[in-house]
């Protein structure tokens, strides 16, 4: 009888095991979702690094962008590795440490999770990730407005204010609000630029692109150029900005005190891990949009005297394809010729000069 009684669980033990199983499922679901996001981020990271190296790491700006992309991805993978270790350690303490009483295991796991959440090193990494990612957003706005400091004064002030938690740790909601405000202002500025580009006279870049497409049509050159109009790139930046603002807006749920017994805790936990990955993915996506579409990246078109020089895309016939299908080099849709061209209309070694 004594041995039979010793094998029976008390009501308290049953409740603890139920809660422990629920917590394990929540941790597994959250980590699985984070793994999916991290895998998506890995694909995006590989594409961006490929595009950067394909263009050539020659300028200082390109090197800085490469370091930014690598740092953001490294911080994301580090956070994923920490979450993996926490999830694995929680399951190990439940199923492998049989010599420790269940209440003690539960208390130890709670203390471990709390300690990791307030770890200074992880908090420092997260802070730098936010600074770098928001700096990329502000930098993109600064480039679109052609270096005008006035355009980035407000988002820069909001960015500095967003890290007030380093001085006043009891203000997470204020920090979230200013972070959201930084992205809202930058997206609004880019959106205004996109609207202005659609309503006003086309800028030199768009004019050159249209002239280039018209010339290809006149020469009856088949194929699709890989360039993209300024409006389309700005639209992509605005749309991605609104998506990120939406994701950042619902992050307010992360600051609510939701017990683990509530079904809403799943949603809150998913938002937490999503925020850890999306913070680095968004600026990487901005770089990918601009880099792959071959538009406003580091410099703007330059007018040499009364001539704007366009570099026509060299044609290459792919022998492996049927017919005379042409492929185009992606090096440049628009390029600036270093020497001045005097002819009003000329086609020499793939360079075009068109008088305005």
Average pLDDT for 116-125: 57
CA angle 185, 189, 192 (to 5 degrees): 135
Kindly compute the dihedral angle of the four CA atoms of residues 265, 267, 272, 276, in this order, to the nearest 10 degrees. Answer: 150
Tokens representing residue 287 in the block:
């770089």
Q: How confident is the model at residue 203 (pLDDT cuts 50, 70, 90)?
A: low
pTM over 0.85: no
Cβ–Cβ under 8 Å, residues 310 and 335: yes
Mean pLDDT for the stretch of residues 33-49? 92
pLDDT of residue 43: 93
Mean pLDDT of the chain: 68
**Contact assessment for residue 69 and residue 287, using Cβ atoms and an 8 Å cutoff:** yes
Tens digit of pLDDT for each residue in 70-84?
A: 988 998 998 899 888
Beta strands in the chain (DSSP E): 307-311, 315-317, 326-328, 345-348, 351-355
Taking the C-alpha atoms of residue 66 and residue 60, their distance in angstroms, rounded to an integer, is 10
DSSP conformation letters of 222-245: -S------HHHHHHHHHHHHHHHH
pLDDT digits (tens, 9 = 90+) for 312-351: 333 444 444 443 333 333 333 333 333 333 444 444 444 4
């Amino acid at each position: 009888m004594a041995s039979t009684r010793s094998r029976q669980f008390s009501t308290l033990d049953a409740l603890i095991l139920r809660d422990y199983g629920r917590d394990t499922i929540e941790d597994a679901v959250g980590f699985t979702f984070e793994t999916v996001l991290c895998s998506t981020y890995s694909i995006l990271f590989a594409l961006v690094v490929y595009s950067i190296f394909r263009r050539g790491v020659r300028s200082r700006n390109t090197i800085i962008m490469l370091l930014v992309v690598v740092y953001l991805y490294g911080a994301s993978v580090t956070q994923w590795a920490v979450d993996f270790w926490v999830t694995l350690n929680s399951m190990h303490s439940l199923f492998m440490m049989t010599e420790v009483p269940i209440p003690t295991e539960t208390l130890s796991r709670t203390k471990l999770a709390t300690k990791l959440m307030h770890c200074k090193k992880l908090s420092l990494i997260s802070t730098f990730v936010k600074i770098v990612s928001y700096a990329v957003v502000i930098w993109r706005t600064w480039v679109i407005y052609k270096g005008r400091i006035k355009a980035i004064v407000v988002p820069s002030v909001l960015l500095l204010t967003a890290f007030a938690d380093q001085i006043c740790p009891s203000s997470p909601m204020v920090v979230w609000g200013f972070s959201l405000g930084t992205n809202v202002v930058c997206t609004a500025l880019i959106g205004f630029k996109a609207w202005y580009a659609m309503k006003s006279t086309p800028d030199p870049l768009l004019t050159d692109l249209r002239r280039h497409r018209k010339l290809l049509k006149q020469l009856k050159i088949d194929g699709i150029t890989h360039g993209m109009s300024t409006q389309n790139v700005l639209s992509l930046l605005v749309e991605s900005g609104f998506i990120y603002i939406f994701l950042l807006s619902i992050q307010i749920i992360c600051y609510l005190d939701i017990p683990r017994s509530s079904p809403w805790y799943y949603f809150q936990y998913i938002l937490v891990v999503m925020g850890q990955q999306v913070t680095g993915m968004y600026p990487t996506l901005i770089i990918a949009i601009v880099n792959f579409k071959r538009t406003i990246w580091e410099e703007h078109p330059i007018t040499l005297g009364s001539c704007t020089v366009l570099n026509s895309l060299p044609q290459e016939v792919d022998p492996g394809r049927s017919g005379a299908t042409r492929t185009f080099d992606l090096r440049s849709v628009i390029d600036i010729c270093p020497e001045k061209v005097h002819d009003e209309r000329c086609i020499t070694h793939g360079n075009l000069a068109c008088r305005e």
